[in-house]
Structure 1
Amino acid sequence: MQATVLPKGLCQEMEKIIRRFVWGGTQENRNISLVNWETMRKPLSDGGMGFKDLSVQNNAFLMKVGFEILTQPNKLWVRVIKEKYGWREKVPLSITRSRCSRLWKGLDTVWVEVRNSILWNVRNGEHTNFWYDTWVDMEGPLVARCTMPYMPLPTPVARMVTGFGDWDWRQLEPILPDEILAKLEAIQPPRAWFGEDVPSYRWEENKVFSVRSAYQMLVGSQHAMANEKWRVVWGLKSPQ
């Protein structure tokens, strides 16, 4: 599951075995399922039992491989696989290849999610796209907040700085709302000597990838709040 895409049919078959086990059934004798399986998949804090959607879990594992390639470029296996598939850009828009290994096919399956989960740590500003990458914390791509009547051209963050090293407010103030300008004011403008921009993971406070938060993001619950009543229920000192 951590290195190849499993067929959905195989994941469904494994989940059938898990369901039979949970409700005390066998392959020959099925017991009644007392709770809907979608409910059982919910986390404990939301009234479920925390069982995983195995196909989604598979994708979360593959995203981990993708982030290791992005954030640990000096590892031997990363250097080998980049050379094998001609990886030249910092973060390619697409990694699709007509002939490739199972691992690479798996990465291609989740590459859109990997790209959408990147938060750029801007240093020299050369590799981060001002409009179409995510680099302002808690904001998505700034193109969604642009007030221009047309789509802006892809522009490195470094091009939005004056020759004196400050944000180019004359260029930015007419095309971005005040709350975004306030966030930019709190960010250090890029400097050529700061080194290359570094990709990090946007769904964790410490900006380090975790399979847990990747799974939650893929099922659409990364912002779900724990339900207080279920915390009380699970905390009761009573027979299970």
Structure 2
Amino acid sequence: MDDLAWEFGCRVASLPTTYLGMPLGAPFKSVIVWDGVEECFRRRLAMWKRQYLSKGGRATLIRSTLSNLPIYLMSMLCLPSSVKRRLEKIQRDFLWGGGNLERKPHLVRWELVCLSKKKGGLGVKCLSILNKTLLAKWNWHFANEREALCKQVIRGKYGEDRGGWCSREVREAHGIGLWKGIRMDWELVSDRMVFIVGNGRRVRFWRDRWCGDSPLCVSFPSLFAFIVDKEAWVADIWDPLAEGAFNDWEVEEAERFLERLHGKRVLEDVEDMVSWTETKSGKFSVKFLYFALETGCSSLFPSSYIWNVNVQPKIRFFAWEATWGKTLTLDMVQKRGRVLANRCFMCLEKEETIDHLLLYCSRTRVLWDLLFTLFGVSCVLPSSVRETLLS
């Protein structure tokens, strides 16, 4: 083997190894595949002086660097839950200042941190949602690139379904590889695309969304009930209402049905296509699918008054913490199990909370009164920092 390698100018290696950034020789579900990503996380953190960075600076580095390190692998492989937890722990510890040798409180839930800024988060990417959106891109490629080698291989192994827009569901327990996990999330793509009818040979007349905002079987259930061939293609149905007579109460629905079809026609020399509903261009976008899958905040959040202000990142981060009421004031320390007296150190009159410190402390009120006097404003401050920013 060594002689042959020398002859061809190659070197001898062993599996598992890495080729073009992808692991070779290891099971795609193995956590070993992701060891390189975790090591890359730790190497990058070692280059940054955590003690000299504010929380705002750390959040910026997480968004711009750490969240992007695993993107290449996540666009090819399903992220194991154990790896996700480890990578998120590294990011959490870096953001809040803790680590293996020290414990610092994580003031805000990570699920909230991972929301977009408009929804009340820090804009850090949720790895599980990002992994789903990156893999969903392959379902879009399968639907659009009919002659691609990747599609031909998958089609040859699993077959096609729904007019060739997706593969058949993978039900085998063994030997199915990565595609099973990708195919399971086909609905993430299909629920957000509409069909543009050309020759009509790959679009189902009743079940696909090609004429209006919903499939015809949903918009006209009474008509759909007496249709014999419920899986018929658009090209096969020239007179969809010729299969039966209508009852009196169905005539109005039939009229609405014909109005819906008005102007639609089949073009024999044009292929059927799909369009993505989340973008104006009709092209698939990982970014827009991520925003669609991201959960929202149940209450209003004054994001523009925090992030669109020209101040230092650490001040914006503090304003974000204060808006959520998650700064480490004495009342929050008490909630974490510490037994201590709670008294505002500025006025020595009330308990220390973030709303008291920033709004109602007698020392703070002097500043508010001065500000109101300068601008000629008469105002009653709301009960919390969030309501103050919203008002």
**Above 0.5 in TM-score?**
yes
Contact 1:129 1:155 in 2 (8 A): yes
Structure 2 residue 189 is the aligned partner of structure 1 residue 108: no
SS of corresponding position for 1:200: strand
User: What residue is the counterpart of 1:71 in the other structure?
Assistant: 144
- C-alpha distance in 2, partners of 1:182/1:233? 49
2:206, 2:224 within 8 Å by CA — same for their partners in 1? Answer: no
Indicate yes or no: 2:215 matched with 1:141. Answer: yes
Q: 169-178 or 28-37, which moves further after superposition?
A: 169-178
- Looking at structure 1, the residues matched to 234 and 160 of structure 2 have their Cα atoms a distance apart, in angstroms, of 23
Match of 1:209 in 2: 284
Using structure 2 for the length normalisation, give the TM-score.
Answer: 0.51
Superposed displacement of residue 104, structure 1: 1.0
Name the CA distance, whole Å, in 2 between partners of 1:177 and 1:147. Answer: 14
| Aligned with 1:235 (options 294, 299, 308) | 308
> Any residues of structure 2 matched to 1:213-228 within 5 Å, and which?
213-219=288-294
TM-score by length of 1: 0.79
Letter in 1 for 2:304: R
Larger Cα Rg: Structure 1 or Structure 2? Answer: 2
Query: Would the aligned equivalents of 1:161 and 1:168 in 2 still touch at CA under 8 Å?
Result: no
Question: Are the equivalent residues in 2 in contact too, given 1:95–1:111 (CA < 8 A)?
Answer: no
Task: Establish whether residue 53 from structure 1 lines up as the match of residue 126 from structure 2.
Answer: yes
1:36 alignment partner, one of 109, 112, 116: 109
- CA contact under 8 A between 2:276 and 2:283: conserved in structure 1? yes
- Gap regions ≥5 residues in structure 1: none
Q: Offset at 1:143?
A: 2.2
Structure 1 Cα separation of the partners of residues 192 and 214 of structure 2: 10
TM-aligned CA distance change 1:69 to 1:149, over 3 Å: closer
SS of the counterpart of 2:86? helix
Counterpart Cα distance in 2 of 1:195 and 1:150? 27
Q: Is the 8 A contact 1:66 1:114 kept in 2?
A: yes
Give the Cα separation in 2 of the matches to 1:237 and 1:177: 58
SS at match of 2:178: helix
Report the secondary structure of 2:188's partner residue. helix
- Match of 2:222, SS? coil
Same amino acid, percent of matched pairs: 26
Aligned-CA RMSD value: 3.2
What number of residue pairs does the alignment pair up? 228
Instruction: Point out where structure 2 has 5 or more consecutive residues left out of the alignment.
Output: 1-73, 314-391
Q: 1:108–1:77: structure 2 CA closer, same or farther, 3 Å change rule? A: closer
> What secondary structure does 1:120 align onto?
strand
